[in-house]
Amino acid sequence: MKPQVNIAVVVDVIGALSAGTLLDGNLSLVDDGPFQSTGQGTPELCTVVAPGQVVQWSALAVDLQTPVEIRRITFLGAGHGGAPEPAEPTEQGEKLDLDVWTGVVPPYLTPGVPYRYRLELQMYEGPYSVLHIDSPALMCV
């Protein structure tokens, strides 16, 4: 088993900002995990993980000249008696690089149950610069 699963969050920033409030159609997620994740290349990615495994999210803009950062990752209520540990930004030297977030899969997650999370993205500034999606999930084997 790989000790780390990487999730790439690929965003069409110009399309998302043009749509105003929607990430649908402007976002895809893929992972490199060793298990059979579902929804690869869609906003509905369900990444299959194992307890203790590190999960790392990275934000990438389709147009490399338009910035996108992960503002926050919040696990939604899953009804398992305790919330998964929130992901945290990864410290990159002296600069906090919000493109990369890392978390560890806790041991108490129920196998086979998808744990949905809200992925908030920051793109530029302005009234619609922070958009989120609640469809991705992690699921333990």
pLDDT of residue 27: 94
| Predicted local confidence at residue 63, as pLDDT | 87
Q: What is the pLDDT of residue 94?
A: 39
pLDDT of residue 91: 44
Of 5, 1, 3, the closest CA to residue 137 belongs to 5
Write down the pLDDT at residue 22.
72
DSSP lists the bridge partners of residue 7 as 31, 57
Q: Where are the domains of the chain?
A: 4-140
Distance CA 34, CA 5 (A): 8
Question: What is the fold of 4-140?
Answer: Immunoglobulin-like (2.60.40)
Amino acid at 18: S
Res 89: pLDDT = 52
pLDDT values of the chain reduced to their tens digit, one per residue, 141 residues: 789 999 999 999 988 888 876 787 899 999 999 999 999 999 999 999 999 999 999 999 998 788 899 999 999 875 444 444 445 555 443 344 456 899 999 999 999 999 999 999 999 877 778 999 999 999 999
Residues 6+ apart with CB under 8 A from 51: 105, 106, 107, 109, 140
Rounded to 5°, the CA angle 108-109-114 comes to 175
